[in-house]
Every structure is written in structure tokens, then in C-alpha cells.
Structure 1
Amino acid sequence: MKTAKKLGLAVAVATLGMGMSAASMAEEVNIGFSGPLSGGAALYGENVLSGLRMAAEEINANGGFDINGEMHTVNVVALDDQYSPAQAATNAKRLIQESEAPAIFIPHSGGIFALMDFNVEDDFLIMAYTSVPTITAQGNPLTLRIPPTFDGYVKAFTDYAIEEYGTKLAMGGATHEYAKIWGSMIEKAWEAKGGEVVAKNPMDYNKSADFFTGVSKLLAEDPDVMFVGGASEPTGLVIQQARQLGYEGAFIMMDQAKIDEAAVAAGGLEPLENTVGVVPLSTDESEAAQSFIKRYEEKYGKTPGSEAAYNYLAMHALVEAMDMTDSTDPKTIRAAMNDAIAQMDSSKNPYAVEEIDEAGGFVTMPTMSVVKDGKIMEVTF
């Protein structure tokens, strides 16, 4: 960030003799968030929000950021949408009109698609936490996709599961838009690989904690592999209840759910034996990831997942772009985001994102892991 400007302002503040810090005199820039903060996906929404808030607090504790010689701080304005696209759209309108937010973070594809209907006209940047490939394929000039797309996961997970566990698949994913897209793609990939989909029974992971009836319908067809996934906590419950009903097969876990987080709800890693999913952040041994994990654990008392880490780095990049351009204009911020990513301190970038592609996606390599003998093992693909 612009150290010379900050130093000049600090001197000016000191000469006032008022005993006030630069941060206490700074103007606020509101950054919006709309996501599930109640219901079955509440933990997922809170995990996303924790990363945003952690980044904002670090930025503010460091004096904020400079726009044309004036210091500004970040204020995260968070609204609950209970995973509803319609409520997300209503929240976005409120965040623009009442809080004048130049950017809104949103962690579900249904809400993102709803906001894309009017974000260019209303002039705000969508910070999209979703791996749905079609988000950036839409060509929306004010949308950025934060995690990698899941199409790479679909093929890799399918290939591995068929080769290792068998060809009969039962579809037991969630019912929200993101899960429907994931499910449709993995069904096609499974059949293209020569597998058979023997049962389909999507379940509402957001409203239920009792999945015995739905899981029983899937198990009646004696699958080798079960596709599951929504937020981590209900996904863990689905797996736990499948094991309680006697299921001994494998699981493919949609990337929204994280193995280590689902294990907490399932009662440990044992029920997740032979579960294929993404590599949890907790197993990343890079210096940047371990630094973030340590600071997060000190602040929140728990190990962070990818939701927190990705949104943490995205908030830092967003503020870096505002600082670089002396602007809160969404179009100006968007144009500077690639340079902002490149200039970020590595400690603020736990996933080592190096660039944003032409479509607006943060470039990160997808990963795959499997639970073997009670341990999470990374698999190269």
C-alpha cells in the first residue's frame, strides 16, 4: 500500500495534538455480505463471514487504507439470507441503497445468479464464493469468482471412485442450486465413465437434521458409492446416519463440504472412511497457510476451512485494489484486482493465488483427498 501517503497522513494527525489514532479519524467503506446465517447452512455462512471480518480487522488495526490522502477503514455489513436467492437479491438492494457498498460477498450460486441480473445496472461488484463454472462464463464484467471451479473435481472424483470402489452410484446431494448443478455434472461424468446411477433422492440439507428416511431410499438400491454434499455440518450428519443404517460403501463429497468439518458432525473420521473430497486447508503445510491457520485459531479458537481462507484473501485483495487506485468505484476496483493479487503480501494469501483469469476467476489449483485408515490422504490427479 502507499506507505508515503500513510506516513504523511500520520504526521498530520500527530501535529493536531488530539491524541486520536488515524483509524479513529478514518472514514468507513462498507463492504456487503449476504449469506446463510441461520438454518442448516448457518455454520457455512459464519465460516465465510469470519474470514471477511478477520481481514477487515487486520486492515483496520494497521490504520486502514489510503484513498487520495485520506485514511479509510473497512466495515463489513452482514445480512442473513437463509440461502434464499430472492432474499439475497433483497439484501443486495438494501446494501447498495443504505450502505453504499461497492462490493458484496455472497457464498451461494443461487444468490449470485440473482444478483447478476442487476449488479451492472446498480453498479456493484459481486465477490462470488462458488465453484460453479458458469458464474464467470456469463461474461458479467462486475463479478469475480473466488474459489476454483468444480469441473476438475467432478472428473477426478468420478475416475477415482469408480476405479477404487465400484460402478453403482446413489445421488443424495442437497437441493439448492449449487448442489443441483454439481449433481447433474457428476451424474453425466459417472455414466460417461461406464458407471450406473442406481438411485436419486436429493435432500434439503438446510432445513433438516434427520436424513434417515432419505438415506434409506438410497441404500435400498445397494450402491457402491454415495454422492453427498451441501454445507459441511449437514453433510456430516448424512454420512453418520448412512453408517448407522449399515452402509459400508464409499462417499463422493461435493466440494462445498470439507472432510475435516464434516467429520466433526459425523463423530470423527471413522464414519468418513473411503470419502473422496477436496483437501482441507488444515493439511496444507505451506508457510502462508500455516500462518493464517495459527492467527485464525488464536482469534476464533478453531481450525479454519477454505471458506474462511478464500474470503480472507479476497477481502485483502479488494482493499489492496481500492488503495492502489484511490477509488471505491466498482469498475475501477475490478480493473485493478489482478495487480492487487500480484502485490499482496504472501501472509494475506493462504492459497497462494497468483492471478485472476480473463473471465474473472481467481486462479488456484484444485485438489483431491481421500480418507484412508482414519487419515486424510492427498491424492494427485
Structure 2
Amino acid sequence: MLKVLRLARRLAVGGVIVAGALSGPALAAETLKIGVVGGLTGPGAAWGLAIDAGAKIAAAEINAKGGLSIGGKPHTVEVVSYDDQYKAASAVTAVNRLIDQDEVKFILGPIGSASLLAIKPITERNKVILLSNTYTAKALENTGYVFRVLPTTQEYNASFIDWLKTNRPAIRSVALLSPNDETGWNSQKVQTEAYGKAGFTIAAAELFERQQTDFRAVLTRILASKPDAIELDTTPPPTAGLVVRQARELGFSGQFTKFGGVNVAEIVKGAGAENAEGMLGYFAADPDSKEWAWLQTEYAKHHPNEMSDFTFFFYDAAKLLLAAIGRAGTATDTDAVRAQIEQGAPFDTLLGKAFWGGKAAYGIDHQLVTPSFLGEIQKGKGKVIARLAAQ
């Protein structure tokens, strides 16, 4: 993580801007700018850097082939990235600059729910297409231009918890620990309902501040409830590692689950391999697959840290966006591009077939549905132990 932070500081310009990078050689006279907003520094950096790298890898592929043809004219794809530091105010600053100064019509990110809800009125008003990930159900409420490009706990939690009930029958009670913000409020609500519906007892439900590093007080309260498992939900991976280490030091010997997303390297770095052994979590992809190996190689061309599996989603999101722009034949009419995004499914992705869903849950089919992987940390590495169908 220190390498990532040093890299981000070297790239920083004027506080929140991290990178305005041309992803590939200048191959065409005209340029298409794609924006990225995400936490490129701090506890959520692994996820924010996944957005940045995913977009740049997809752009580099297009540029290597001569650029993106839009209305018969080749365009070089340029990725302009800003660090929102996982903060709503910084996200607003970044989006306003992307729209007003960079004249961007298409943005990938952000990750944080608070950031998404802060910028959504701006992007909707300006008809800017947003390919995002946030776990709040409000992301897709009353929206026309927001698409969520990876599944949330709402989409896969029931399958994961059913697996847990069948394969770990000794686990009957679960304590929940989530961030004290829009992301955590929504995800903890989803977790509470899903575990309760499956027959688990919710022993405790606690929230923490994102800047927090000492969890002994909250863990003491949790451990007093004697849970069989602690669900770390949408806790950022570096923070999750600290929680695991401190819980083990306080004597907790039970199961850890993290169905809100895992970055194995970051968790193991914070917790230690022995403490993290056996943690179950949501994996976006199989770390042993050839697709992972290829994407990790490409990722390393942009960032020195261990790749988050969220890179898969934003690489695929950038690909489907660029394809839709090409089919629409315009880089300015976002209504035409939106129609092509909606009509382009099913999509061929690195993970297999994906399609749009979400109408029943959110009122609009702007939720990308993909296969999900249940993984376990074994000897400091992530291993997929079950593949669950898209729902």
C-alpha cells in the first residue's frame, strides 16, 4: 500500500487530481475522453485503482488497433482519472472538473456510495453516463444515466449465505461490522435481512468510522455476544486485515466472512496469513484462471500493487461502453449511447456472459448481473471453492 500511496502522491496535481493519462499512442486526430473517479489513495485505494486500470487497459487495447471508430472517424481513447479519496466532497469536485473543464460525457466510478449519491444529481442533470459500483440501493433510484457494473450483496448474498448454512452447519450466530456511512448502512441492512432469512441469529451489528484503526473497543462488544462468525461486509480490505488481527489477539477463534468484496493481498498484509486463514468471501473472479493472469500482467503496467478483482468489472465496463459509443456513432449524444448500452446485452466478458437486471429490486434494468465466486483464504492466497450462477 505504501508503494501505491507514493505513486499517487507523485501523480497528484492540485489535491484531488491523480492522473490524466493517454492510454496508448496518439493514433488518431480526434480524442475521446473517458473519466474515472475513485478512491486512488487511502483504505479504498485497491478498489479505486481497479477502476483506473480497468479503463486504461481497455483504452490501450482500442488504441493499439488504431483507435475507436465513431461515425467513421478514428478516435484515440484518453482516460482522465481523479482521486475522490472515498469522500463525497472530493467526488463532486472531480466530477465538476471532468464535466466543465475536460468536457467528459462518460465516467467510470466511483466506488463509495456517499460519493455516488453526491455526484448523481450533477451527472443526471448533464446527461453524463456513469458506470459505477456502489452498494446503496439508492444508486439506481430515479436515474436514467447510472449503470451499476458489478453485483452487490443484494444480488449474490442469498446464495453465499445458503452455502454457508449447508457447508458450515456449526455456524449459527453472526456478528456484523460495517462502515458508518451510506455504503455500510445499506450493506449491513442487506446482510441483516439475508442472514436472518436463512435462520442465523444476528449476535451483534456494529458500525465504525472509515479512518478508524483501533477496533478493540468495538470488538470487545462483539465478542461479548459470542458469535460463531464475524461478517466484515463492505469494510475496505486493509481495514478488514486490521480487524482480523485485533480480533484474533482478543481471543476470537471463529469464522470470518467478507461477502462485501475481498482483496486477499491487502487483508493478509494487515492480518497476517495465519490470522486470515479460512476467511470466506466474495471473489469477482478466480485467481487461478488464465483470465486473472492476463489481467494482472496488464494491471502491472499501470500500478505496482496487487490487483483487486474489481479490475475485471471495470475493464469489461469500459469495453462495453466503448462498443456502445462505436455502435451509436456519436460521442456527444448520450441518449443514443445509453440506448446502445441497454440493448447490447448479453455481453461477453472475461467472467462469461453478463446481462442487465434489477427491474424488480431497483425499478430499472441498469444492474449488471454476472456469475459470482465464493473464495477462501488458504495459506495467504485466495482459492475459489464455489462458483454461483448469475441471479
TM-score normalised by length of structure 1: 0.82
Equivalent residues of 1:237, 1:266 under 8 A apart:
yes
State yes or no: 1:366 paired with 2:366.
Answer: no
1:278 counterpart SS class: strand
State yes or no: 1:279 paired with 2:283.
Answer: yes
Residue of structure 1 in register with 2:316 after alignment? 313
Equivalent residues of 1:108, 1:129 under 8 A apart:
yes
Give the letter for the 1:179 counterpart.
G
- Which one of 130, 133, 136 corresponds to residue 129 of structure 1? 133
Residue of structure 2 in register with 1:7 after alignment? none
Q: CA, structure 1 residues 124+280, in 2 after alignment: closer, same or farther (shift >3 Å)?
A: closer
Give the letter for the 1:89 counterpart.
V
Residue of structure 1 in register with 2:119 after alignment? 115
Residue of structure 2 in register with 1:254 after alignment? 259
Segments of structure 2 that go 5 or more residues without pairing to the other structure are 1-23, 358-363
Q: After superposition, give the CA deviation of every residue in 1:77-112 in whole Å (9 maximum; x if it has no partner).
A: 222222222332332222111111111122222222
Residue of structure 2 in register with 1:10 after alignment? none
Residue of structure 2 in register with 1:304 after alignment? 307
Q: 1 or 2, which has the higher strand percentage? A: 2
Equivalent residues of 2:286, 2:373 under 8 A apart:
no
Q: After superposition, give the CA deviation of every residue in 1:17-48 in whole Å (9 maximum; x if it has no partner).
A: xxxx9934422222222221233222321232
Report the alpha carbon displacement of residue 243 of structure 1 after superposing the two structures with TM: 1.5
Equivalent residues of 1:147, 1:361 under 8 A apart:
yes
- Which one of 376, 380, 386 corresponds to residue 379 of structure 1? 386
State yes or no: 1:291 paired with 2:294.
Answer: yes
Tell me the distance in 1 between the aligned counterparts of 2:278 and 2:176. Answer: 16
Report the alpha carbon displacement of residue 332 of structure 1 after superposing the two structures with TM: 1.4
Give the letter for the 1:135 counterpart.
A
1:52 counterpart SS class: helix
Give the letter for the 2:236 counterpart.
A
Residue of structure 2 in register with 1:145 after alignment? 148
1:38 counterpart SS class: coil
Aligned residues between the structures: 353
Identity among equivalent positions (%) equals 24
Report the alpha carbon displacement of residue 261 of structure 1 after superposing the two structures with TM: 4.1
State yes or no: 1:75 paired with 2:78.
Answer: yes
Tell me the distance in 1 between the aligned counterparts of 2:43 and 2:296. Answer: 25
Q: After superposition, give the CA deviation of every residue in 1:295-336 in whole Å (9 maximum; x if it has no partner).
A: 335665665332211111111221121122221122111111
Equivalent residues of 1:282, 1:293 under 8 A apart:
no
Residue of structure 2 in register with 1:350 after alignment? 350
Q: CA, structure 1 residues 139+359, in 2 after alignment: closer, same or farther (shift >3 Å)?
A: farther
Equivalent residues of 1:187, 1:197 under 8 A apart:
yes
Q: After superposition, give the CA deviation of every residue in 1:143-202 in whole Å (9 maximum; x if it has no partner).
A: 111002322432233334455242222222222322221111211222333332222321
Residue of structure 2 in register with 1:4 after alignment? none
Equivalent residues of 2:36, 2:51 under 8 A apart:
no
Segments of structure 1 that go 5 or more residues without pairing to the other structure are 1-20
Report the alpha carbon displacement of residue 253 of structure 1 after superposing the two structures with TM: 0.5
Tell me the distance in 1 between the aligned counterparts of 2:80 and 2:244. Answer: 35
Tell me the distance in 1 between the aligned counterparts of 2:25 and 2:224. Answer: 65
Residue of structure 2 in register with 1:337 after alignment? 341
Residue of structure 2 in register with 1:16 after alignment? none
Equivalent residues of 1:167, 1:196 under 8 A apart:
yes
Select the structure of larger CA radius of gyration: 1
State yes or no: 1:96 paired with 2:114.
Answer: no
Residue of structure 1 in register with 2:10 after alignment? none
Q: CA, structure 1 residues 187+25, in 2 after alignment: closer, same or farther (shift >3 Å)?
A: closer
Residue of structure 2 in register with 1:221 after alignment? 225
TM-score normalised by length of structure 2: 0.80
Tell me the distance in 1 between the aligned counterparts of 2:254 and 2:68. Answer: 52
Residue of structure 1 in register with 2:361 after alignment? none
Residue of structure 1 in register with 2:189 after alignment? 184
Q: CA, structure 1 residues 314+284, in 2 after alignment: closer, same or farther (shift >3 Å)?
A: farther
Q: CA, structure 1 residues 162+340, in 2 after alignment: closer, same or farther (shift >3 Å)?
A: closer
Report the alpha carbon displacement of residue 209 of structure 1 after superposing the two structures with TM: 3.0
Q: CA, structure 1 residues 356+284, in 2 after alignment: closer, same or farther (shift >3 Å)?
A: farther
Give the letter for the 2:375 counterpart.
S
Q: CA, structure 1 residues 263+341, in 2 after alignment: closer, same or farther (shift >3 Å)?
A: farther
Q: After superposition, give the CA deviation of every residue in 1:31-86 in whole Å (9 maximum; x if it has no partner).
A: 22222123322232123212222222232233211223332122222222222223
Q: CA, structure 1 residues 66+126, in 2 after alignment: closer, same or farther (shift >3 Å)?
A: same
Map of 1:29-44 to 2, 5 A cutoff?
A: 29-44=32-47
Residue of structure 1 in register with 2:17 after alignment? none
State yes or no: 1:50 paired with 2:61.
Answer: no
Which 10-residue stretch deviates more, 274-283 or 233-242?
A: 274-283
- Which one of 233, 237, 240 corresponds to residue 235 of structure 1? 240
2:211 counterpart SS class: coil
Equivalent residues of 1:132, 1:150 under 8 A apart:
no
Residue of structure 1 in register with 2:250 after alignment? 245
Q: CA, structure 1 residues 34+377, in 2 after alignment: closer, same or farther (shift >3 Å)?
A: closer
Tell me the distance in 1 between the aligned counterparts of 2:46 and 2:148. Answer: 21
Which 10-residue stretch deviates more, 64-73 or 299-308?
A: 299-308
